[in-house]
């Protein structure tokens, strides 16, 4: 298994541009999460999904959108990039919803908005 | 919502000494407390976790303690080695409406083990 994979690894965006961060897992996990990690800080939850077709907001959802059309994929969309969205983005997944269950993280996408 | 505080933000120890990192949480419904190690430029990796029905758990040089009454939990690393140098994050998990569980992370502790 590849586990949780993310693309791209690094991207530079101009203010106002849009992009999609890709996240795929091959572990047949039902639950998937998007976090952002600002320099010197912990991870903050952006959006999460409990299964295909179901998504919900986390702590910091403004400026982002998600979709979950398949179990494997959970893309994160930035419509109008802003400098405040410069961060490292991590996708994670768990099989049964994470009740006392470990989250598996992808390698991250480093995003710079100029 | 849940709030997790972590201290200290930086910790420097001599090789072979012990290191202790402490976290407090606010939501008494939190039921799972993992600790992650993150090396520079890498993803967080789980190193140990503890469930709310357990007071202490040990795995070789690493141990975690949980005090539910006081709502705090701690990571203990003994006989520290240079490869233990990294950022350590605590987290607390609580269930959410509609299903699933959310992790709230502390702000991290930069541990440096000096020779």
- What does the pLDDT look like over A42-98, one tens digit per residue? 899 999 998 899 999 998 999 999 999 999 999 999 999 999 999 999 999 987 765
Q: Which residues of A touch B6 (CB under 8 A)?
A: 42
pLDDT for residue A50: 87
Mean pLDDT of chain B: 93
Judged by CB atoms closer than 8 Å, whether chains meet at A90 and B43 is answered as yes
Band of pLDDT at residue B95, cut at 50, 70 and 90? confident
pLDDT for residue A1: 74
Judged by CB atoms closer than 8 Å, whether chains meet at A98 and B100 is answered as yes
Among A40, A43, A98, the residue with its CB nearest the CB of B93 is A98
Span B43-86, pLDDT tens digits: 999 999 998 888 999 999 999 999 999 999 999 999 999 999 99
Provide DSSP, A23-61: EEE-S--SEEEEEEE-TTS-EEEEEEEEETTEEEE-S--
């Amino acid at each position: 298994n590849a586990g949780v994979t993310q693309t791209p690894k690094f991207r530079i965006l101009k203010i106002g541009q849009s992009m999609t961060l890709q996240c795929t897992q091959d572990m047949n996990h039902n639950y998937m999460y998007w976090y952002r990690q600002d320099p010197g800080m912990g991870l903050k939850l952006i959006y999460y999904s409990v299964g295909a077709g179901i998504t919900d907001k986390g702590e910091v959802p403004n400026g982002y959108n998600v979709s979950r059309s398949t179990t494997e994929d959970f893309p994160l969309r930035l419509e109008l990039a802003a400098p405040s969205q410069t961060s490292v983005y991590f996708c994670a997944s768990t099989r049964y919803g994470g009740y006392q269950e470990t989250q598996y993280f992808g390698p991250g996408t480093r995003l710079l908005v100029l | 919502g849940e709030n997790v505080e972590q201290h200290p933000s930086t910790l420097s120890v001599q090789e072979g000494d012990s290191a202790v990192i402490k976290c407090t949480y606010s939501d008494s419904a939190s039921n799972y407390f993992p600790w992650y190690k993150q090396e520079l430029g890498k993803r967080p990796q789980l190193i140990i976790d503890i469930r709310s029905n357990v007071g202490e758990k040990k795995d070789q040089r690493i141990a975690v303690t949980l005090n539910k009454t006081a709502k705090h939990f701690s990571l203990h690393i003994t006989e520290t080695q240079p490869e233990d140098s990294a950022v350590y994050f605590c987290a607390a998990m609580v269930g959410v409406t509609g299903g699933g569980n959310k992790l709230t992370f502390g702000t991290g502790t930069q541990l440096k083990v000096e020779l």
